[in-house]
């Protein structure tokens, strides 16, 4: 049986939901990452930055834009160093200015993806999958990039059936 790894970044707190700022107790991407695990099994790994982003939504968007501009690789609280035990890697993240938060790249660029199948999972407020698959092709050296999925963040909690069907077809 193939082994799955689900890597995710997710930011709880203030976020933009269907046109207004709301307080999320659990991040949208975390909800989706857990649906994947429930559907196909595997290990979850959460990417967490040492320096926290602002709780204020607008300030956070500015911080994220600056990191994108600088091609920053923010320091993480813990790193995955070895993924040799896995066959499939789901890379889950919110769309930040069109692609993954830079912290996701900090993690991906440390890993050897030779022979792995990777899937982009992006939650968003309108940008769909954004550049997530392109980013995986650039950052996951040696991997085959399968067909990813985009989930509207505001619908994350209602996306279980869609996410589960996609994940089961993917592995």
Ligand X SMILES: Cc1cc2nc3c(=O)[nH]c(=O)nc-3n(C[C@H](O)[C@H](O)[C@H](O)COP(=O)(O)O)c2cc1C
13 forms part of the interface with ligand X (CB under 6 A): no
Instruction: Name which position in 100, 104, 153, 163 contacts ligand X (CB under 6 A).
Output: 153
| Number of chain positions touching ligand X (CB under 6 A) | 23
Nearest to 121 by CA among 58, 75, 170: 170
Shortest reach from residue 151's CB to ligand X, in Å: 8
Instruction: Name which position in 4, 10, 129, 132 contacts ligand X (CB under 6 A).
Output: 10
Instruction: Name which position in 106, 107, 123, 139 contacts ligand X (CB under 6 A).
Output: 123
27 forms part of the interface with ligand X (CB under 6 A): yes
Mark residues 75-94: x for contact with ligand X by CB under 6 A, - for none: -------------------x
3-state SS class at 78: coil
Name the one range near ligand X by CB under 6 A: 28-36, 67-75, 82-90, 135-143: 28-36
Shortest reach from residue 56's CB to ligand X, in Å: 10
Instruction: Tell me whether residue 57 is exposed, middle or buried, using C-beta atoms within 10 angstroms of its C-beta: 0 to 12, 13 to 18, 19 or more.
Output: middle
Is the CB of 4 or the CB of 129 nearer to ligand X? Answer: 129
The residue assigned the tokens 């923010």 is 74
CA 102 to chain CA centroid, Å, is 11
Q: Write b or e for each residue in 17-30: b if 16 or more Cβ atoms lie within 10 A of its Cβ, otherwise e.
A: beeeeeebeebbbb
DSSP 157: G
Instruction: Name which position in 97, 137, 146, 160 contacts ligand X (CB under 6 A).
Output: 97
The string of DSSP letters for 22-76 reads EEESS-HHHHHHHHHHHHH--EEEE--BSSPPPSSHHHHHHHHHHHHHTT----B
11 forms part of the interface with ligand X (CB under 6 A): yes
Site for ligand X, rule CB under 6 A: 10-11, 15-16, 24, 27-30, 60-61, 64, 94-98, 123-127, 153
């Amino acid at each position: 049986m193939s082994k799955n790894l689900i890597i995710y970044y997710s930011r709880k707190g203030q976020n933009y939901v269907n046109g207004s700022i709301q307080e999320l107790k659990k991040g949208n991407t975390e909800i989706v990452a857990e649906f994947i695990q429930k559907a196909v099994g595997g290990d979850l790994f959460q990417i967490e930055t040492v320096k926290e982003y602002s709780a204020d939504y607008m300030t956070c968007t500015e911080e994220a834009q600056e990191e994108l501009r600088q091609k920053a690789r923010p320091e993480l609280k813990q790193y995955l160093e070895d993924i040799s035990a896995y066959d499939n890697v789901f890379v889950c993240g919110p769309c930040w200015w069109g692609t993954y938060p830079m912290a996701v790249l900090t993690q991906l660029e440390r890993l050897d993806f030779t022979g792995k199948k990777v899937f982009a999972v992006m939650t968003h407020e309108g940008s769909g999958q954004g550049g997530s698959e392109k980013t995986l092709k650039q950052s996951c050296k040696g991997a085959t990039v399968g067909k990813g999925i985009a989930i509207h963040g505001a619908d994350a909690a209602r996306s279980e059936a869609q996410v589960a069907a996609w994940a089961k077809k993917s592995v």
